[in-house]
């Protein structure tokens, strides 16, 4: 067979390209090992441990807030005092070192209001460490005098040994002890010393309502007797036995009518008795 040179080809001969390698993805092998889930009992144990830790953390947080120093009261401010001492009010409150979360404002206000000078109390929290206590003190309205004893009273007729003093020119109601059979000196003095609340409110209504201005009279004094009620002394005119607060408007109208008749007819009278309704008495 003749030898061929490297660059020579035999005529009629076709040279084929070498076959390309073929690559195929082999199917994924299935693992024979299965994914094992935790046992239900272990799952419950894990959940229980997580809940225990959460509850413990919450309990510690609650203890820290309630019993720790985070919200303890260290600053107590007192306002509205004039007669009562701020230190006495703070001592009666007894809130130092307590927690603001568990503070009972009603109980604190009740303790402070038990002081003789205090009429009402308001307690406000100031987060995170303080409270403000605002007190309203008793206000003296006038005086109730029995014999040589003169006592401060409020507008409801209650004696107030510890109260803000009455205003300048405040009225004085003079209580006259009852006389007659069976009235001993001790009993009469005790009866006169006890203020009559209805009489006090009656005088306050007469003064505040402008009754004297409308009638053009000037009161000179107020007297009280248990068997007669209120008597008003009037400057330059007859005294008026008003009694109690019943039929208030009628008594004022009758008083004005009698004053007109006295002035028009020049009637001399020392006392006008308005206690018996339409039966007006002039003495």
pLDDT tier for residue 245 given thresholds of 50, 70 and 90: very high
Expressed as residue numbers, the domain containing 115 is: 75-137
pTM, rounded to two decimals? 0.72
Q: Are 191 and 116 members of one domain?
A: no
Asked whether residue 14 is assigned to any structural domain, the reply reads no
What would the pLDDT profile of 118-175 be if each residue is shown by its tens digit? 999 999 999 999 999 999 999 999 999 999 999 999 999 999 999 999 999 999 999 9
Q: Are 115 and 193 members of one domain?
A: no
Asked whether residue 209 is assigned to any structural domain, the reply reads yes
Asked whether residue 19 is assigned to any structural domain, the reply reads no
Q: Are 224 and 241 members of one domain?
A: yes
Q: Are 155 and 253 members of one domain?
A: yes
The distance in angstroms from the start CA to the end CA of the chain is 180
User: Is pLDDT of 19 > 80?
Assistant: no
Instruction: Give the pLDDT score at 266.
Output: 87
Q: Which of 160-174, 189-203, 232-246, 265-279 has the lowest mean pLDDT?
A: 189-203
Asked whether residue 59 is assigned to any structural domain, the reply reads no
Asked whether residue 41 is assigned to any structural domain, the reply reads no
Residue 44 vs residue 149, higher pLDDT: 149
Angle (CA) 204-230-269 rounded to 5° is 115
Instruction: Give the pLDDT score at 276.
Output: 94
Residue 229 vs residue 19, higher pLDDT: 229
Asked whether residue 95 is assigned to any structural domain, the reply reads yes
């Amino acid at each position: 067979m003749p030898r061929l040179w490297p660059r020579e080809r035999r005529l009629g001969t076709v040279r084929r390209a070498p076959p390309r390698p073929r690559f195929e993805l082999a199917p994924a092998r299935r693992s024979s090992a299965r994914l094992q889930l935790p046992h239900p009992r272990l799952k419950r144990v894990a959940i229980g441990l997580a809940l225990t830790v959460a509850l413990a953390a919450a309990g510690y947080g609650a203890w820290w807030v309630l019993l720790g120093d985070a919200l303890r009261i260290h600053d107590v401010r007192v306002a509205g005092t004039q007669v009562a001492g701020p230190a006495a009010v703070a001592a009666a409150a007894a809130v130092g070192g307590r927690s603001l979360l568990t503070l009972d404002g009603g109980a604190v206000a009740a303790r402070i209001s038990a002081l003789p000078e205090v009429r009402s109390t308001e307690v406000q929290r100031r987060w995170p460490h303080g409270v403000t206590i605002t007190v309203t003190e008793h206000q003296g309205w006038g005086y109730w005098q029995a014999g040589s004893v003169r006592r401060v009273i409020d507008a409801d007729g209650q004696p107030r040994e510890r109260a803000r003093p009455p205003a300048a020119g405040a009225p004085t109601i003079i209580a006259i002890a009852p006389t007659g059979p069976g009235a001993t000196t001790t009993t009469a003095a005790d009866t006169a010393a006890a203020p009559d609340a209805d009489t006090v409110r009656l005088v306050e209504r007469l003064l505040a309502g402008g009754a004297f201005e409308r009638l053009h009279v000037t009161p000179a004094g107020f007297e009280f007797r248990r068997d007669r009620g209120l008597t008003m002394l009037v400057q330059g005119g007859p005294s008026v036995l008003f009694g109690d607060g019943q039929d208030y408007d009628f008594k004022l109208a009758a008083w004005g009518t009698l004053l007109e008749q006295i002035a028009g007819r020049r009637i001399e009278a020392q006392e006008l008795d308005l206690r018996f309704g339409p039966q007006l008495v002039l003495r």
